[in-house]
C-alpha cells in the first residue's frame, strides 16, 4: 500500500511550494517505506510514498500517462484485484502497457471510461487524478472504505491525503476542533460519523463515493451503495455461493510479488482464510504459508471468561497450526510494551483510538513486517454475517442507539458542564443514530424481526466496520505492512446483506450460513467455536498502569484535556469498583481500563497536535 497527498489551487503556480509538498509526502513515509515521488504542474501538486507489492521495479508514482494529446496524472493507494481482466479488456481497446502493476491499469481505465471507471473496479483503493483535458480533479474511494482519503476544500483550494497528518502540514488546514469534533471524540469515538474528519476544516471522502473538483467548485457523490433485494436462493445454494465468492475473493487477494502471510487467531474467520490460503498455495505449488498470532505474557493466568469474551484463543491457534502445518509465529507482548505503544498508535491514527486494542495491533503488525510485506486478515466477517453479541441480545438490539456504544450517559457525564452544554453530546449521538437508521435501504413488505435485523446489519457495515478498518489501516501502514481484508469484497457484502436473518442463523448459530459454507474446510471444533474477539490483555497491571497515567494527567494543571472534563467525577470513577469493569462502553473490548487509556490518549493528542478548541 501507499500514502498519497497533494493540493490544488486554481490560478496559482505551485512550483514555489515544492518544499511544502515534500514535507506533506514525507510525513507518511511509514505508509510507503520503499520509494517516494512528487509532481507539480500549474495548479496541481501531488505526492506519493510507495510500498512496493506488485512489480516493484516499475509502477513509480505519481504516474503520468499521455493519450490523445492529453495528460493524466495519478496518485493511488490500494490494490485492484481484477486488474488482469481489466488489462485484457483495455488491450483489446488499443491500450499498451509498460508495466505489470495495477497502477497503470487504474489510470488507463480512467483514460478509457472516465469517472465511470470506478464501477468496474474490484479492490481497495483511494486515488486522485489530474485530468488536463477536462481540467478537473477526480478522486474516489473503494466501496467499503478500506483505504482512507481525507480532504479539505476551502474556496479555490483543495488539500488531500491518506492521513490527517499530511493535510495538517498545509497552511490552509488548521488543527482546530469545534463542538461537532468534540462530540465525535467524546460520544461517538473511537468511531467516526461517515465523512467526518473531526478537525473543523477536514472531511473524509465517504466509502463508495467519488468527487470532482473544478474551477466551479467541489462536488462529491455516491457511485455505490447497499441495496435491499429479495433473496431467491435456498440455504444450500446460499452456502455454496458464499463459499464460491469467498474462495474467489481470497485467491485474487493472494497475488503478491513480495512475502505474504495470514493472521490466525484460531477463530472462525481467520482460520477459514488461513485454511483456504494453504489449500491454494498447495494447489499452485507455492509451498507453505506463514501465519501469525498475538497474545500477552501470562494472559492464561489472568483470563476470566465473560459474555463478551467467552474463551481464550491459544488452544484453537495450536489446533489450526497442527491442522494446516503452517510456518507459524506465536507473538507475545508484555503489559509495559502495550502501554508504551499507546502514543505511537495515536500518532498513527492522528486521533485517539481503541487504546491497547490499537497499540497491540501496531506491535503485532511491526513483528509481522519482519517476515512479510502483505498479510490476510479476517476483519469485517462479524459485521457482514452478524457475529457480534449485539446482533443476538435483545437489550442491545433495542437500546435505541448504536449497540456497540451502550453507555452514552456515562460518557456524557464525564464532560465538564460548559463543554457538555456546548457540544450537547446525547443530542448529537441521537441525531447521528437517527441519520444512520433513516439511511437504511428498506425492502418492500419486510417487517418485524427481519426488518430490524436489516437495519442492524446496515448499521454495522456502515458505522462499526469503518472503525475497525481505520484501525487496521493505520496500525498496519504505520509500520509499512499491507493488510488485505477478503470479507470486505463488495460482491460478498452485497450478496450476504440480502440473505434473510433466519438463513444467516442457519443451525441456530451466529454466522450459521458462513459455518455451513465452510464445512469440510475447517475441523468441526473450530468451525463451531463460539465467537471470541481480538485478544486483549487481562493483566491487572494494565489497569493499574493506565489508571495512574490518567490520574497523573488530571493532576497536571497544564494538561489540555482538563477544561473538557469533569475531573472530580473521573477521579471518583477511578477509585470505584467500576474501574475494572468488564462491561464494554465501546465494542467488545473497551471497558474500564480502556476508558482511562482513552482519556489519556485524548490529552496526548490535544497536546501533540496543538489542537485549538473553538
**Residue positions annotated with a catalytic role:** 2
Contact (Cβ atoms closer than 8 angstroms) between residue 137 and residue 130: yes
Write out the H or E segment, with its range, that includes residue 213: strand 209-214
Burial tier of 518 (Cβ tally within 10 Å: 0-12, 13-18, 19+): buried
Contact (Cβ atoms closer than 8 angstroms) between residue 538 and residue 309: no
> How many other β-carbons are positioned within 10 Å of the β-carbon of residue 98?
9
Residues constituting the chain = 614
Write out the H or E segment, with its range, that includes residue 244: helix 235-253
* Euclidean distance between CA atoms 292 and 329, whole angstroms: 5
In sequence order, which residues have a C-beta less than 8 Å from that of residue 568 and are 6 or more positions away? Answer: none
Burial tier of 226 (Cβ tally within 10 Å: 0-12, 13-18, 19+): buried
* Euclidean distance between CA atoms 588 and 200, whole angstroms: 30
CA separation, residue 251 to residues 148, 277, 474, 491 (Å): 24, 7, 24, 14
Write out the H or E segment, with its range, that includes residue 612: strand 612-613
CA separation, residue 162 to residues 25, 79, 391, 520 (Å): 10, 15, 32, 41
> How many other β-carbons are positioned within 10 Å of the β-carbon of residue 11?
8
Amino acid at each position: 500500500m501507499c500514502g498519497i497527498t497533494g493540493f490544488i489551487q486554481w490560478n496559482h503556480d505551485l512550483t514555489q511550494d515544492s518544499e511544502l509538498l515534500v514535507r506533506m509526502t514525507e510525513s507518511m513515509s511509514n505508509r510507503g517505506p520503499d520509494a517516494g515521488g512528487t509532481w507539480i504542474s500549474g495548479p496541481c501538486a501531488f505526492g506519493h510514498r510507495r510500498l512496493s507489492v506488485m512489480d516493484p521495479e516499475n509502477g513509480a508514482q505519481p504516474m503520468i500517462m499521455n493519450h490523445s494529446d492529453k495528460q493524466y496524472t495519478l496518485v493511488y493507494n490500494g490494490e485492484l484485484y481484477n486488474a488482469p481482466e481489466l488489462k485484457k479488456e483495455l488491450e483489446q481497446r488499443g491500450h499498451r502497457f509498460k508495466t505489470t502493476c495495477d497502477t497503470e491499469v487504474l489510470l488507463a481505465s480512467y483514460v478509457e471510461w472516465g469517472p465511470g471507471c470506478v464501477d468496474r473496479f474490484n479492490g481497495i483503493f483511494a486515488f486522485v487524478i489530474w485530468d488536463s483535458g477536462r481540467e478537473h480533479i477526480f478522486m474516489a474511494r473503494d466501496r467499503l472504505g478500506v483505504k482512507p482519503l481525507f480532504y479539505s476544500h476551502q474556496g479555490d483550494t483543495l488539500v488531500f491525503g491518506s492521513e490527517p497528518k499530511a493535510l495538517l502540514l498545509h497552511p490552509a488546514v488548521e488543527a482546530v476542533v469545534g463542538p461537532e469534533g468534540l462530540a465525535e471524540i467524546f460520544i461517538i469515538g473511537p468511531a467516526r460519523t461517515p465523512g467526518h474528519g473531526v478537525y473543523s476544516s477536514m472531511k473524509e471522502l465517504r466509502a463508495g463515493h467519488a468527487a470532482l473538483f473544478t474551477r466551479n467548485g467541489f462536488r462529491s457523490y455516491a457511485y455505490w451503495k447497499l441495496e435491499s433485494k429479495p433473496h431467491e436462493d435456498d440455504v444450500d445454494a446460499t452456502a455454496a455461493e458464499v463459499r464460491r465468492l469467498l474462495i474467489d475473493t481470497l485467491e485474487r487477494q493472494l497475488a503478491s510479488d513480495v512475502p505474504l502471510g495470514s493472521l490466525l487467531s484460531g477463530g472462525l474467520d481467520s482460520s477459514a482464510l488461513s485454511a483456504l490460503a494453504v489449500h491454494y498455495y498447495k494447489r499452485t505449488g507455492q509451498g507453505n504459508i506463514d501465519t501469525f498470532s498475538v497474545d500477552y505474557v501470562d494472559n492464561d493466568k489472568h483470563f476470566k471468561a465473560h459474555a463478551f469474551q467467552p474463551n481464550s484463543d491459544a488452544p484453537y491457534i495450536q489446533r489450526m497450526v497442527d491442522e494446516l502445518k503452517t510456518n507459524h509465529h506465536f507473538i507475545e507482548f508484555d503489559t509495559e510494551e502495550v502501554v508504551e505503544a499507546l502514543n505511537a498508535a495515536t500518532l498513527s491514527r492522528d486521533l485517539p483510538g481503541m487504546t491497547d486494542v490499537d497499540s497491540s495491533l501496531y506491535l503485532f503488525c511491526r513483528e509481522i513486517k519482519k517476515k512479510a510485506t502483505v498479510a490476510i486478515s479476517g476483519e469485517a466477517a462479524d459485521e457482514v454475517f452478524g457475529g457480534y453479541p449485539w446482533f443476538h441480545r435483545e437489550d442491545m438490539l433495542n437500546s435505541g442507539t448504536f449497540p456497540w456504544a451502550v453507555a452514552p450517559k456515562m460518557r456524557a457525564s464525564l464532560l465538564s458542564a460548559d463543554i457538555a452544554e456546548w457540544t450537547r453530546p446525547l443530542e448529537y449521538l441521537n441525531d447521528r443514530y437517527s441519520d444512520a437508521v433513516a439511511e437504511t435501504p428498506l425492502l418492500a413488505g419486510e417487517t418485524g424481526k427481519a426488518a430490524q435485523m436489516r437495519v442492524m446489519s446496515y448499521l454495522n457495515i456502515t458505522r462499526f466496520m469503518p472503525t475497525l478498518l481505520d484501525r487496521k489501516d493505520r496500525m498496519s501502514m504505520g509500520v509499512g505492512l499491507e493488510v488485505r481484508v477478503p470479507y470486505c469484497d463488495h460482491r460478498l457484502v452485497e450478496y450476504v446483506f440480502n440473505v434473510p436473518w433466519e438463513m444467516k442463523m442457519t443451525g441456530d448459530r451466529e454466522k450459521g450460513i458462513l459455518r455451513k459454507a465452510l464445512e469440510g474446510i475447517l475441523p468441526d471444533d473450530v468451525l463451531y467455536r463460539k465467537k471470541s474477539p481480538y485478544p486483549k490483555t487481562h493483566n491487572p497491571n494494565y489497569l493499574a498502569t493506565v489508571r495512574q497515567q490518567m490520574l497523573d494527567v488530571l493532576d497536571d494543571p497544564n494538561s489540555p484535556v482538563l477544561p473538557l472534563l469533569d475531573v472530580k467525577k473521573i477521579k471518583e470513577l477511578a477509585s470505584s469498583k467500576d474501574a475494572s469493569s468488564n462491561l464494554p462502553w465501546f465494542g467488545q473490548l473497551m471497558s474500564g481500563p480502556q476508558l482511562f487509556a482513552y482519556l489519556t490518549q485524548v490529552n496526548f493528542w490535544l497536546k501533540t497536535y496543538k489542537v485549538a478548541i473553538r
